[in-house]
Structure 1
Amino acid sequence: MRQTELHLSEEARSIVDGIRAKGVHRSREVNRAHILSCLDRGIPESQILDVLGVGRTAVWRTRAAYLQGGVDLALFDLERCGRPRQYDTDAQARVTALACSTPPAGRQRWTMLELERVARQEPGLQGVSRETVRRMLKKTTSNPGAG
């Protein structure tokens, strides 16, 4: 199989080497940086597959993305369509802390209805629904009702 040659520009090479060397990056980005670096050095595709443990399509897609749109398109995922998150992690943490607090007088534990009512009084959570509160709490590993 004939491999398409790929030569990185100096700027692209420094970006790729920076991702490979340090910082906190997603594993996909690091793998893609390794792939681009290997392709730039002329390492055969079969060897890249064996050493990095990636699939052939990952190499093909990374190469094609670089040739089509440069290093940013090859390394980083594009923004996906869809509705952005309405509540950030801070809001989720406040709801979780509320659920872990002592329940209202006369109750042994919080109910979803009571949590929703109290969460709506928090700043930034005025429109939160009971289902949203339930989903936020489902993501946590705490279970204050058990025990």
Structure 2
Amino acid sequence: MRQTELHLTDEDRSLVDEIRSKGAHQAREVNRAHVLASQDRGVPEAQIMAVLGIGRTAVWHTRAAYLQGGVELAVFGVARSGRPRQYDTDDEARVTALACSTPPAGRQRWTMVELERAARQEVGMANVSRETVRRMLKKTISSPGAS
């Protein structure tokens, strides 16, 4: 197993120790801080992996990220955007208002199928699915058709 030396600066070492000692960080961030601190002390990779319960690539990626961008990049990583929302809060409000409106003629209450059809008539929501309508309503803790 390859072992590359890693030496933290005094400033980086104090930042890593602060992350390791405070409970306000995610487990992944704390583990990465432990990896950096252990490598700074010369602990073998096999021992780091065994104690922290992480894989070899996690150790390598943490070291590489530190060498590339310092403690911030190694511990916290790069912010990921994720998939953008297809429907915004205005669309959700329109579906909720629709569910709270008077149901179609001959009906006591809205059904998901009818809500889906009605939502597809709204501008910009031509491809909305029944499951998406259901999730939108679930966020509002509403019960379609209930009075």
Band of TM-score, shorter chain: 0.5 to 0.7
Tell me the equivalent position of 1:104: 102
Counterpart Cα distance in 2 of 1:128 and 1:3: 55
The answer (yes or no) to whether the contact 2:116–2:133 under 8 Å persists in 1 is no
Sequence identity percentage: 47
For residues 40-119 of structure 1, what are the structure 2 equivalents within 5 Å? Answer: 40-80=40-80, 84-85=84-85, 91=89, 95=93, 98=96, 102-106=100-104, 107=107, 108-110=109-111, 111-115=115-119
Structure-1-length-normalised TM-score: 0.64
Alignment: residue pair count:
135
Matches within 5 A, 1:132-147: 134-135=131-132, 137-138=134-135, 140=138, 144=143
Kindly state the Cα deviation for residue 70 of structure 1 after the two structures are TM-superposed.
1.3
Is the Cα contact below 8 Å between 1:96 and 1:137 reproduced in 2?
Answer: no
In 2 relative to 1, CA 128–38 (structure 1 residues): closer, same or farther, beyond 3 Å? farther
Distance in 1 (alpha carbons) for counterparts of 2:13 and 2:133: 41
Q: Unpaired segments of 5 or more residues in structure 2? A: none
Contact 2:119 2:125 survives alignment (8 Å): no
Amino acid of the structure 2 residue aligned with 1:52 = L
Does the aligned pair in 1 maintain the 2:116–2:129 contact within 8 Å? no
Q: Assess if the C-alpha contact under 8 Å between 1:62 and 1:74 holds in 2.
A: yes
Structure of higher CA gyration radius: 2
SS in structure 1 of the partner of residue 24 of structure 2: coil
Counterpart Cα distance in 2 of 1:16 and 1:70: 11
1:23 paired residue number: 24
- Describe the SS at the equivalent of 2:128: helix
| 2:132 is aligned with 1:131 | no
**Cα separation, 2, equivalents of 1:97 and 1:11:** 52
Cα offset, 1:115, TM superposition: 4.3
CA contact (8 A) 2:119 2:128 kept: no
Q: Taking structure 1 as reference, are residues 45 and 131 closer, same or farther at Cα in structure 2, changes over 3 Å only? A: same
TM-score scaled by length of structure 2: 0.64
Q: Deviations over 1:75-107 (max 9, x none)?
A: 22324577644666xx28x549928x6452444
2:3 aligns with 3
